[in-house]
Structure 1
Amino acid sequence: MTFELNRRSFGLAGLAAALGLAAPANSSAAEDPLPSWNDGPAKRALLAFVRRVTTQGPDFVAPAERIATFDNDGTLWAEMPVYFEVLFAVDRGREMAAKDPSLAGREPYKSLVEKGAAGLTGLTQAQVVELVAATHSGMTTEQFLEIARAWFATARHPTTKRLYTQMVYQPQLELLAWLRREGFKTFIVSGGGVDFMRAFAEPVYGVPPEQVIGSSAETRWEMREGVPVLVKLPKVRSVDDKDGKPINIELQIGRRPILAFGNSDGDLEMLQWTQAGPGARLMLLVHHDDAVREWAYDRESKIGRLDKAWDAAVKNGWTVVSMKREWKQIFPPE
């Protein structure tokens, strides 16, 4: 099944920003690279930092070293009421149970067949892990990519009814595109599955697959009818969360970021690793404090908890981005 981009699926503004398309020279967007950001501390910090590292002087950074890393869930797109990859696993699990009736009578499939995503609340953590493993394995990497792309083309968020690819943050699309115009290389470094994120990262964010770092499963080489394939196995290879993030950044990029953007305790070590390098550095955290336009949560949340990283931000002078105050709009136009 092919995956075709269209105006309705991704939104003209979001797609243009993601692809880094320049606005006409006489438009206000040409003068302001971050039009969806209010003129507050976060926007001023970004503008000042990029100016410092791209202008000849003591803080100048060569383009090759302009590495910017972004978490995905809760940083580039929403993560409530549960991580979107889990909702993908729910839909996949229900499809699998429909094709194999022997699955429908046992957990974790039984609850999902009867209640849909609401059935997650009755599952144990081990059962959710089993569900994710089963729905992400037993197929080639190419087959998984097509399955994920097909899901993104039609699946909608349970609350907003938007396509999941429309649950991205418009201010962050602008930031990614602007950084690339300023000579940065932008990477996604997230706890989500790397193959899952690669199914949408380039058309939505403008981030190519080789610049997506995520959790991964074991993969096996096979010859099928004389054709070599890579088969996804139900076994975790690497978890790209907490200290796994700087480890995988070093392993896959080989350069320390000079800008890192996260939103939760899972991003703490990535921001600490970024700060520890020499020269100019910028560490940022999204604070979900807008219950009207998105969701409000931080220290006590089970999803995207911002507790230890909040304390570190206060102690180290990192930039905390208030959704409520700093962002003029949250999502792109539909």
Structure 2
Amino acid sequence: MKSLIPGLATALALAVPAMAQDDPLPSWNDGDTKSAIIAFVQGVIDENGDTYVDASDRIATFDNDGTLWVEHPTYAQLAFALDRIRAMAADHPEWKTTQPFQAVLENDMDALAAAGEKGLLEIVAASHSGMSTDDFEQITLDWLASAKHPRFDRPYTELVYQPMLELIDYLQDNDFQTYIVSGGGIEFMRPWTEAVYNIPPQQVVGSSITTEYRLVDGEPALMRTDKIAFIDDKAGKPVGINTHIGRRPIAAFGNSDGDFEMLEYTTSAVDGPSLGAFVHHTDADREYAYDRDAPIGALDKGLDAAGGNGWLLIDMKTDWKTIFPE
């Protein structure tokens, strides 16, 4: 398992002058985590070093929820789905007495939780289907333009992590291809990731429902059905990477056990340098503090395995000077 590059001392020596001249990660506190990231990148781009990687193989993957933007107290896409159910309720009077929709309309979070994964999938299917992909994109953008986080009272697209934006920029400046690989819906993310992260839609991998080609009023359209096509989570992430990217990443960033297999696939039994890292949510004052027992974004297995696998634990409280962009 080679998650931290060989010749780390040499790479660190290269990184120190680079940091002194122009800090590529100004929102990161100086320390082992920041130094390890910069050392990895400097080693990869050093054509004379033994850890050089050709630009075509410099692929980095990022989970989205909890890794690039806030995921508590609930996933943004789930908040979107619940708002969609409320907006559609007038056309579905049967939902008033049918679970899990009744729980959504009555804001009964206990009943919604009791509906479990099956209920959640019903909500997603009802709120995300029956329209064209173009219509769904516009609905998504309209919601993001108006919805605000319940704690921070800011749009979700403003609650992205400034240190991770800098990391994406740093990797892109050094010829890395950066991809989002998320359990979230691929078509929920694609409309806005380029504007927010500078990651274009074709470099987004996510969960999906099936679509069908149809003529609607004589015009060709892709229509979204209510059938789940692929879940891009846990063991599904390496599958999604292979399907959409076709190359194994050399760097992977996540925050929960849902990202474990992605980090494992990126760093285990790999010839050459690789880097895996979890964002560890430790800052209840500026964001949230959670790991092992969290109902959303639990980091348990990954927390135990990080040291043995050489994966970085990015401590939000100590490693980041700031959380969100000003």
Per the normalisation by structure 2, the TM-score is: 0.90
Label 1:124 to 1:221 Cα distance change in 2 as closer, same or farther (>3 A).
same
Computed over aligned residues only, the root mean square deviation of the Cα atoms, in angstroms, reads 1.8
Provide the C-alpha distance between the structure 2 equivalents of 1:153 and 1:120, rounded to a whole number of angstroms. Answer: 26
2-structure distance, mates of 1:30, 1:161: 37
Match of 1:33 in 2: 24
Instruction: Give the deviation of 1:197 after TM superposition.
Output: 0.8
Equivalent residue for 2:215, pick from 212, 223, 228: 223
Structure 1 residue 302: Cα displacement? 1.6
Runs of 4+ in 1 over 4 A off after TM superposition: 116-119
Cα deviation, 1:263-321, whole Å, max 9, x if unaligned, reads 11111111111113210111111101111111111111121111111122111121110
Change (3 A) 1:288 1:237: same
1:1-334 matches, within 5 Å, as 31-56=22-47, 57-115=49-107, 120-121=112-113, 123-276=115-268, 277-333=270-326
Aligned mates of 1:64, 1:120 — CA distance in 2: 46
Change (3 A) 1:122 1:250: closer
String of CA shifts for 1:231-267, please: whole Å, max 9, x gaps.
1111111110111111111111111101100111111
Helix, strand or coil at the partner of 2:210: strand
- Counterpart of 2:324, as a letter, is F
For residues 96 and 153 of structure 2, the distance between their equivalents in structure 1, rounded to whole angstroms, comes to: 27
Identity of aligned residues (%): 50
Contact 1:90 1:116 in 2 (8 A): no
SS in 1 for 2:106: helix
Paired amino acid for 2:45: T
**In structure 2, C-alpha distance between the alignment counterparts of 1:242 and 1:140, rounded to whole Å:** 29
TM-superposed deviation, 1:124: 3.8
Paired positions, count: 306
Q: Please, which runs of 5 or more residues in structure 1 have no aligned partner?
A: 1-27
- Contact 1:193–1:214 (Cα < 8 Å) also in 2: yes
- Give the Å deviation of 1:100: 3.7
Give the SS at the match of 2:134: helix
Cα deviation per residue 1:37-70 (whole Å; 9 max; x = unaligned)? Answer: 0001111011100000011121111111100000
Q: 1:124 to 1:320 in 2, by over 3 A?
A: closer
CA deviation after TM superposition for structure 1 residue 97, in Å: 0.3
Q: 1:258/1:233 Cα in 2 relative to 1: closer, same or farther (>3 Å)?
A: same
Aligned to 1:11: none
Q: Whole-Å Cα distance in 2 between the matches of residues 110 and 254 of structure 1? A: 43
* Worse-matched range after superposition: 161-170 or 95-104: 95-104
- Give the conservation status (yes or no) of the 8 Å contact 2:68–2:161: yes
Q: What SS does structure 1 have at the residue aligned with 2:252?
A: strand
Give deviations 1:85-117, integer Å, cap 9, x for gaps.
110000000000034434334333323223287
Unpaired runs of at least 5, structure 2: 1-18
Contact map agreement 1:63 1:183 (CA 8 A) in 2: yes
State whether residues 112 and 119 of structure 2, in contact with CA within 8 Å, keep that contact through their aligned partners in structure 1: no
SS in 1 for 2:313: strand
1:22-43 deviation line (CA, Å, top 9, x unaligned): xxxxxx9981111110001111
> 1:84: Cα distance to partner?
1.0
Change (3 A) 1:125 1:245: closer
Contact 2:28/2:163, CA 8 A, preserved across alignment? yes
Pair 105,263 (structure 1): closer, same or farther in 2 beyond 3 Å: same
Change (3 A) 1:88 1:116: farther
1:143 and 1:150 map into 2 onto residues whose CA distance is: 11
Report how far residue 210 of structure 1 moved: 0.3
Report the Cα distance in structure 2 between the residues aligned to 1:30 and 1:227, rounded to whole angstroms: 56
Q: What's the secondary structure of 1:115's corresponding residue?
A: coil
CA contact (8 A) 2:251 2:274 kept: yes
Amino acid at match of 2:290: Y
Q: Which position in structure 1 is the counterpart of 2:3?
A: none
The 2-side partners of 1:212 and 1:110 are apart by 33
Does structure 2 retain, via aligned residues, the 8 Å contact 1:299–1:307? yes
Measured after TM superposition, the shift of residue 137 of structure 1 is 0.5
Q: Contact conserved, 1:112 with 1:118, CA < 8 A, in 2? A: no
